[in-house]
A and B are shown apart, each in its own frame.
Chain A
Amino acid sequence: MTVSKTSARLVAFLTATPALAQTPAKIDAADTGFMIVSTALVLMMTLPGLALFYAGMVRRKTVLATMAQSAAALAMVSVLWAIAGYSLAFSGDGAWLGNLDRLLLGGMAFDGVSSLAPTIPEALFMLYQMTFAVITVALIGGAVADRMRFSAFLLFGALWLFLVYVPSAHWVWGGGFLAKMGVLDFAGGTVVHINAGVAGLVAALVLGPRHGYGRDNLAPYDLSMAVVGTGLLWVGWFGFNGGSALGAGPRAVYAITATHLAACSGALVWAALEWIQRRKPSVLGIISGAIAGLGTVTPASGFILPWHGLVIGLIAGAVCYWACILLKPKAGYDDSLDVFGVHGVGGIIGTLLAGVFATGIVSASADAPQGLNGLLAGNPGQVATQAIGVAVIILWCAIGTFVALKITALFTPLRVGKDEEIEGLDLALHGERLHQ
């Protein structure tokens, strides 16, 4: 992606080499190298990043079952993505869904490119997008941790991938109707975070709370594992948001800068609120705030200036804190690991804030020399466009998740039995457990 420091320089650059914008772009070595690294980083976010982050927050008897959800989501979604997910999301430019041109990755030339990422091999673009689908399905597991049957999680995950993830990825990133409307989502505020958060909320409501929720001690097994997981997620997010520039350039660097600052301010705000309210800043609070900042800045990261990331992190830390600590107990749902409170709420406010902070210079390209501007840059209508995108994804995801759960329930109970839940999912579902 060509990004220039100013529009004036960009114009000069284009007039000097007028052919550049028109000719089919060639595979660029730097972009390809950067995207291979980014793909590996995002893969690492799911395993071991998310697996450690989640498993550290559940009880000892479900540590392995929680890790199994991340690991199995990785393996299963990758295969489904190669079979048909990528094709339906990213080939063709229909308003609602892609086509089957890339079924089983057919028709993908060895050195061909996708029009969506014209400087890297298409196989790399396919792999990069695969890692996003993987982590989105894995994220949902946190909401149903400690009680969802493994077989049900797999079947639900497969259905959900095609019912919810694939269409919304096409709508927002694959040239579908939300992209045509101008909804901004750089790296997945809608496609990844709202989707995972809303799916988690619906699944938590359908499954019902954990046995003993609100009465028994459900304290985390080992938060030090969650801290390690947070570190891996945080570093991986540089590939998640930086890599969403789809090339090595200043836009990727700006995305990473905003991302990092948002994580830091989110962590500080969450801890500060605990310090004020509870007189002790918790480790769980610091890492929760960091993840909230990271998730929230995601949709905006490639459209904004560094200091916007700082502000988005501040807002994310405060609003997600409110959602997890005040909203959830009041509403009474048991979203075990706060997938909705952190990712759903973060995705919603981040997607809206992208419409507030978008600054043309960061997204200026050959196709859009003015770049994309939001409210602060004199384009208040962008906030309304963002709100429509948010509403569409919430609605579709809620319905799709409900349908996927109901279909799954025809084949296997969604929950383990009460005795299995008390015994612990590790032994009941996997025949293994942690020893002293």
Chain B
Amino acid sequence: MKTVMAIIKPFKLEEVRDALTAIGVHGMTVTEVKGYGRQKGHTEIYRGAEYAVSFLPKLKLEVAVESAQVAAVIDAIASAARTGQIGDGKIFVSPLEQAVRIRTGERDADAL
């Protein structure tokens, strides 16, 4: 099993969700986060006081999937979240040791 974690532009959430649903991923967790990479943020000016805002609002999407499905999930997120502009985000994949569905006690692949 793997955890696929993606940082995406907030307005891309619905497209990414649709793409994942289409390949059979039926659950995910989304968190509002702030951060920056190559997209450098912006400045705001209030009555002459200038503030650099380097942390931009993004969404962090986490999906737990079976290892065989990882490539398809990456493709789905990458194509749906892509605008071609700087700041589209990143996808990180890491190994997942265990999964438990709390209601039934099912484990691992059955719990996903």
Query: Could you mark each residue 46-69 of chain B with 1 if its beta carbon is under 8 Å from any beta carbon of chain A, else 0?
Result: 111101110000000000000000
Q: Which residues of A contact B102 (CB under 8 A)?
A: none
Q: Which residues of B contact A220 (CB under 8 A)?
A: 46
C-alpha gap A220/B49 in the complex (Å)? 11
Q: Which residues of B contact A70 (CB under 8 A)?
A: none
Q: Is A326 touching B48 in the complex (CB atoms < 8 A)? A: yes
Which of A282, A329, A341 meets B46, CB within 8 Å? A282
Say yes or no: is B86 at the interface (Cβ < 8 Å to chain A). Answer: no
Q: Is B44 touching A325 in the complex (CB atoms < 8 A)? A: no
Residues of B in contact with A, size category = under 10
Count of CB-CB pairs between chains A and B under 8 Å:
29
Which of A217, A285, A325 meets B51, CB within 8 Å? A217
Interface residues of B in 65-92 (CB under 8 A from A): none
Q: Is B51 touching A338 in the complex (CB atoms < 8 A)? A: no
Q: Is B48 touching A284 in the complex (CB atoms < 8 A)? A: no
C-alpha gap A57/B47 in the complex (Å)? 11
C-alpha gap A218/B53 in the complex (Å)? 11
Interface residues of B in 12-49 (CB under 8 A from A): 44-49
C-alpha gap A217/B46 in the complex (Å)? 11
Q: Which residues of B contact A326 (CB under 8 A)?
A: 48
Binding site for B on A (CB under 8 A): 57, 217-220, 278, 280, 282, 284-285, 288, 324-326, 328-329, 338, 341
Knowing that A217-B52, A219-B51, A325-B47 are A-B contacts, what are 15 other residue pairs whose CB atoms are under 8 Å apart, sorted by A's residue number?
A57-B46, A217-B51, A217-B53, A218-B49, A218-B51, A219-B44, A219-B46, A219-B53, A280-B45, A324-B47, A325-B48, A326-B48, A329-B48, A329-B49, A341-B47
The 3 A-B residue pairs with the shortest CB-CB distance, nearest first, are: A325-B48, A217-B51, A324-B47
Binding site for A on B (CB under 8 A): 44-49, 51-53
